Each structure stands twice: as structure tokens, then as C-alpha cells.
Amino acid sequence: MDEVVAAGPEVGAQELGDVGVVLEAEDPGGGREAAREGTGTAGLGHRRYLLPAVGNARVLVIDNYDSFVYNLVQYLGELGAEPLVHRHDELTLEQIVALEPDAVLVSPGPGRPEDAGLSNDVILRFTGSVPVLGVCLGHQCLGQVYGGDVVRAPAVMHGKTSLVHHDGRGIFAGLPNPFEATRYHSLVVTPESVPEELEVSARTDDGIVMGLRHREHPTTEGVQFHPESILTASGHDLIANWLSHVAPVG
């Protein structure tokens, strides 16, 4: 294994041996959540992550320039996946397809779905081929690419928690119902605009759409809340449920 610039706070390169996964990602700004969590280094401009991985399922993470993306990356690594992180304007769709990912996660980020670069095209391209998960902005992209309306939310939610009621299927299988989840968003997919291709899988007490699932390809899902937040009670289990649909590799 090559040089490791950063490792998790309790896991070193020698401890992991051959089961470690080195993840490289550009980080010009440096001050991401991952550095504060001990999974990266701040201010280096380029990061290397050593994540504990017991499998080799390659999960493409589309980074929409969000501070939460490396928390999601950490979850994926802890659950045995090999995350491949690329920003939404870094590669062409052809280059992304050539990576042959086993699953795709579209991250949170600022702005609207139309500001999310290749995120929308990636969702359309990989739905039906591999599991796809959209988080926050990624969820809104899923809703919009199939014809849903993304509008201003009744209230801006910034680090606030809500109870999420769900249908108990897919990524929500076996999770408490409801469970508490953290929200950071000012936009929502309106329930009345959800297209035929999608179904609402989760809502808040006041009816805000918190989850979407593709009807024909149910391993494509989206969540408006942040499963990677420490205040989301069942976030780790939700990601594990999603990864359980990834076809065995190797």
C-alpha cells in the first residue's frame, strides 16, 4: 500500500493491512467535515483517505461541492465499500461510465438540481443498472429528472431534526418508524408533482417529502434528510440497507 497522508483516528495503516482502501480526492478548500472527524487532513489541497473495507464494491460518489460528502464517504468505507469521489464537473459522462461503478451516490450540495453538473445525467444513466442513492440535493435531482417540481420549502431547515415516517421498504427496511433525522435544505420536491416513475417512500409529520423511490427500479432511491449526520438516528443502517443491494464483486 502506498503512502497514507491521513487515516482515521483509531485505525492505522499497519492495523488494516491488506483490507484497507486508499481513497484520493481533490480538496482545494481543505476545511471539510472529514478533517474535523479525523478522516482527512485540512488545508493540504489533496487528500488520501485510508478506510476500513472488507469488500471491493466500487461506489461512485458524485460530490456536489458539499461539506458533508466525506461523512458519507466515511460511512461507505466503514460498511465495506470502496468509494470513488469525483466532483460533478470533473469528468464527462463517458468517463464516469468507464469507471464501471457498482453503485452511485449523488451527494448533497448548494443550489438547485440544474446547478448540480452531471448529477442529473448520472442518475438517468445508472438507474436500472446499479443501485443509485441521492442525498438532499441528490434527492432533488432524482425528483426533477423524472418530472417533479423542486420548489422553495415552507420553512428553511438548517441543522434541525424532524421525525421521518416511512414505508419500511428498501433503504428503510428494519428501521424504527418514525425515526429522527437531520435536515439541511431550503428546497423540496412537491408531493403533488411526484411523477409516475417515482413513489414517495418517506414524509415528515407535516407531509414534506423525505424519500423517493423508483417504482420499476427500486434500488434507485433518494432522501431529503442527511443520513450521515450524527443526529440522524438510523443513518448508518440506512446506508447499509442501500449497500445490501449492490451485487457481490470478485
82, 197, 221, 228: the catalytic one is 228
* Domain around 37: 1-52
Residue 248 lies in a domain: no
Give the DSSP letter string of 157-174: EEEEEEEEEE-S-GGGTT
Q: What residues are paired with 135 via a beta bridge? A: 223
The string of pLDDT tens digits covering residues 21-79 is: 333 333 333 333 332 233 332 222 333 333 333 367 999 999 999 988 999 999 999 99
Same domain, 41 and 62: no
The string of pLDDT tens digits covering residues 139-173 is: 999 999 999 999 999 999 988 999 999 999 999 99
* Of 2, 118, 124, 3, nearest in space to 61 by CA: 118
33, 136, 139, 141: the catalytic one is 136
Q: What's the mean pLDDT in 73-97?
A: 97
Does the pLDDT value for residue 85 go beyond 80? yes
Q: What's the mean pLDDT in 186-200?
A: 98
pLDDT for 107 equals: 98
Give dist(CA 145, CA 113) in Å, integer. 9
Task: Tally the domains of the chain.
Answer: 2
pLDDT for 17 equals: 28
Q: If DSSP codes are grouped into helix, strand and coil, which group holds residue 179?
A: strand
Instruction: Look up 78 and say whether it is catalytic.
Output: no
Instruction: Look up 136 and say whether it is catalytic.
Output: yes
The string of pLDDT tens digits covering residues 223-238 is: 999 999 999 999 999 9
% pLDDT > 70, the chain: 77
**DSSP annotation of 81:** E
Strands 209-214 and 103-106: unpaired
Instruction: Look up 82 and say whether it is catalytic.
Output: no
**Residue 92: all three cell numbers together:** 464527462
Taking every pair of Cα atoms in the chain, the longest distance, rounded to a whole number of angstroms, is 53
Same domain, 19 and 93: no
Please compute Rg for the chain using Cα positions.
17
Same domain, 45 and 94: no
